[in-house]
Amino acid sequence: MANSTSNSNEIDIEFRSVTKRFEDVVAVDNVSLKVERGAFFSFLGPSGCGKTTSLRLIAGFDQPSEGDVYIGGKSVVGIPSHKRPVNMVFQQYALFPHMDVADNIGYGLRQRDPKPARQEILKRVDQTLEMVRLSGYGKRRVWELSGGQQQRVALARALINHPTCLLLDEPLAALDRKLRREMQIELQTLQREVGITFILVTHDQEEALSMSDRICIMREGQIIQSGSPRELYDEPINRYVADFVGKTNFIDGDVVDAIGPLVSIKSESGQVFSGSQPPGAPPIANGNKACVAVRPEMITITNIGETSNATNITINGQVVNRIFLGEHTEYLVATEGCGEVMVLSPKSIESANRSFEPGDHVSVSWGPEAALIIGDT
Ligand SMILES: Nc1ncnc2c1ncn2[C@@H]1O[C@H](COP(=O)(O)OP(=O)(O)OP(=O)(O)O)[C@@H](O)[C@H]1O
Ligand SMILES: [Mg+2]
């Protein structure tokens, strides 16, 4: 998503070979990354992979054991958090319950030395309330607000300091699904309006995919892959990324032919599958273990014998489950020799042909362009 205020050449945040150790735990392991000014950037990964620690290193709440963190082109190692042009919204955003909304938002300004004039604080609080669409809520107590409104107060409390970069640690985790979706849209709009860099931490892949310009996928302190949501979805460099981002079918096998980017594997059932290796993936050689990865929406489900294209991969099986999802129908097909295959069939095809029932004998098929051959690491 293009951002009108971003300058694509300017790097706002940079890690150069950053490692953070807590005694024998390596929370961040030799990470190098660049975040462009004005980008919406996400750290995505399972619990304990080092997401919060990465944010804390940017905010200055932790210092790297090795390597350098740069903000706006300057090394900030040793610079305390309150002198950095960043603000963090915490995983548990604790608002002050004894203060009203306006006092919560103005708190950071009142702590400044020198403290801004009262009128100036009131003006900035009003501007910030407007920014998060809470004009008129200044005198409310925080317990009189909904979860989403409290979340916006937490955002306002960070935004009032005019940071160049806002760090958001799982800011929507406490909200129910519907409210979370609404807040995701609001956060995106807000980011475009204020034009500052947002760095979001989440373990929710849908959230990362729908909101970010760039995503960095982490595992055990390391970056496994970074790229745009589309790059990560279409060209995952290994099974971990393909599995983490969206739904994928995997069929394991041994590499039997690896010439250039086109690779063939032979599955346990003896069937040969061909596909391309994603750009940037580690090379695969004959004899290696690998898998073919096919997204469910790239697979066609038909009656046996009705597959259209002779060059397609075709596997026969039996429908074991069908879930109607509105725009799509999701089928689970128990195949002969290749395990269960998930198929996402669009409504347009469902209504043109007949749909299938559990127990039906069917073929699932895909073209060579739908298949990626990827390794485990
Ligand atoms: N202050 C600390 N002392 C010791 N170990 C720590 C400390 N902070 C983090 N760790 C460890 O570092 C690793 C990364 O923690 P971190 O909080 O960055 O994970 P996370 O990706 O944010 O996880 P979650 O999704 O659960 O919030 C974990 O193994 C954690 O136990
Ligand atoms: Mg965390």
Rounded to 10 degrees, what is the CA torsion of 88, 230, 346, 251? Answer: -110
Q: Is the Cβ atom of 50 under 6 angstroms away from ligand 1?
A: yes
Could you tell me the distance, in angstroms and rounded to a whole number, from the CA of residue 351 to the centre of ligand 1? 49
What is the assigned CATH class of domain 295-369?
mainly beta
Q: Give the closest residue (by CA) to ligand 1 atom 7.
A: 22
Percent of the chain whose predicted confidence (pLDDT) is above 90: 63
The per-residue pLDDT for 4 is 42
End-to-end Cα separation, the chain, in angstroms: 29
0.95 exceeded by pTM: no
Q: Is the Cβ atom of 43 under 6 angstroms away from ligand 1?
A: no
Residues of the chain with pLDDT under 70: 1-9, 93, 308-311, 351-354
The per-residue pLDDT for 353 is 63
Determine the residue of 19, 22, 201, 204 to mutate for testing ligand 1's pocket, defined as the one with the most ligand atoms within 8 A of the Cβ atom.
22
Could you tell me the distance, in angstroms and rounded to a whole number, from the CA of residue 201 to the centre of ligand 2? 7
What CATH architecture applies to the domain 11-234?
3-Layer(aba) Sandwich (3.40)
Domain limits of the chain?
A: 11-234, 247-294, 295-369
Are the C-beta atoms of 47 and 31 separated by less than 8 Å? no
The per-residue pLDDT for 312 is 76
Are the C-beta atoms of 19 and 62 separated by less than 8 Å? no
Q: 358 vs 200, 318, 340, 355, CA distance in Å?
A: 41, 7, 13, 10
* Strands (DSSP E) found in the chain: 11-22, 25-36, 40-44, 66-71, 74-75, 86-89, 165-169, 197-202, 214-219, 222-227, 249-259, 262-267, 272-276, 289-294, 300-303, 313-324, 328-335, 340-346, 361-366, 371-374
Backbone angles phi, psi at 41, to 5 degrees: -115, 140
